[in-house]
Amino acid sequence: MRPLRAGAAALAAALTLTLAGCGVGASGDDRTRLTVLAAASLTEPFDELAQEFEASHDGVDVVLGYDSSSTLAAQVVEGAPADVLATADARTMRIAEEAGATRGEPATFATNSLVVVVPAGNPADVDSFADLQRDDVTYVACAESAPCGTLARDLLDRNRVTARPRSLEVDVKAVLTKVELDEADAGLVYASDAVAAGDTVETLPVPHASEAPNSYLVAPVQQSAEPDLAAEWVELVLSDRGRQVLDDAGFGGPTP
């Protein structure tokens, strides 16, 4: 009998501790969380907008989750506890929309186009997009499951570059990292990523890139617990201030 009682006491204590632990997290000081899931390429502008949003909304913490758009769309469809979804193309947003996971019509707020980045100093002397065809040039691009990969495939075809990338990264930041680390002579990334990378890379244009930019869409998530805040976040992204932050980060304006 004794050991049983001691065990029950231990179990009760453990449960109490667990519950107490949950309590602190949930209701500690009445802070509200706004969870924004965004395409990896939006990291810099959304980090900045999040700071401004928190400054103008007392007691609100913006939690940002960055990943590839398709991963995020799948997470939202599967019921991830998010408030806002921002994707790097219309296709991935449509996945969430068709599953009824978004609230209202998604809004286009920016565009982005691909550029070639090379490591600072351009060690392989890549002078043009056509140089990717050279045997001695190692380049990387996104996998076609990500919007940046679909774009890359399209532009390689349009420019008749048949040489293959050495690696198909799952998201665009991984492509950038390979170039920044000087493991690849060139990489296909968004213009905004090239801006974010600063001096660690040099940028070359891709012919025809502006003919096929990809659109960034944002929408509140259906199961959001904070629909008003979610709507305000979307408003901020679409506002003049949002436009300016995105401009500074290298994004183009939404095409009409």
Partner 1 sequence: MSRNRLGRPPAYLLLPAGLAVALLLVPLASLVARAPFGSLLERLAAPEVLDALWLSLWTATAAMLASLVLGLPLAWLLARVEFPGRSLVRTLVTVPLVLPPVVAGVALLTAFGRTGVVGAPLRELGVTIPFTSTAVVIAHTFVALPFFVISVEGALRATSQDYDEVAAVLGARRGAIFRRVTVPLAAPGIAAGLVLGWARSLGEFGATITFAGNYPGVTQTMPLAVYTLLQEDLEAAVALSLVMLLVSVVVLALLRERWFGQAAR
Is 183 an interacting residue with respect to partner 1 (CB under 8 A)? yes
Q: What is the DSSP string of 30-87?
A: --EEEEEEEEGGGHHHHHHHHHHHHHHSTTEEEEEEEE-HHHHHHHHHTT-S-SEEEE
Q: What residues numbered 32-71 form the site for partner 1, per CB under 8 A?
A: 68, 70-71
Least Å from the CB of residue 82 to partner 1? 18
User: Which pair of tokens denotes residue 138?
Assistant: 């190692």
Is 223 an interacting residue with respect to partner 1 (CB under 8 A)? no
Given 43, 138, 192, 214, the residue binding partner 1 (CB under 8 A): 138
Q: What is the distance between the alpha carbons of residues 84 and 80, in angstroms, rounded to a whole number? A: 11
Name the residue among 209, 246, 206, 215 with its Cα closest to residue 117. Answer: 206
Q: Which stretch binds partner 1 (CB under 8 A): 126-134, 180-188, 201-209, 237-245?
A: 180-188
Strand ranges in the chain using DSSP code E only, listed in sequence order: 32-39, 60-67, 84-87, 107-112, 114-119, 139-142, 167-169, 186-190, 201-205, 214-220
Is 168 an interacting residue with respect to partner 1 (CB under 8 A)? yes
Is 189 an interacting residue with respect to partner 1 (CB under 8 A)? no
Is 17 an interacting residue with respect to partner 1 (CB under 8 A)? no
Given 45, 165, 213, 242, the residue binding partner 1 (CB under 8 A): 165
Burial of 86 (0-12, 13-18, 19+ CB in 10 A): buried
Size of the site for partner 1 (CB under 8 A): 29
| Residues 23, 25, 27, 28, CA torsion sign | positive
Least Å from the CB of residue 139 to partner 1? 10
Map residues 70-89 to x or -, x wherever contact with partner 1 holds by CB under 8 A. xx--x---------------
Q: Specify the residue, 156 or 237, whose C-beta has the smaller distance to partner 1.
A: 156
Q: What is the distance between the alpha carbons of residues 222 and 97, in angstroms, rounded to a whole number? A: 10
User: What is the identity of the amino acid at 228?
Assistant: D
Given 48, 154, 182, 202, the residue binding partner 1 (CB under 8 A): 182
Binding site for partner 1 (CB under 8 A): 3-4, 7-8, 10-11, 68, 70-71, 74, 138, 140, 143-146, 164-170, 174, 178, 181-184
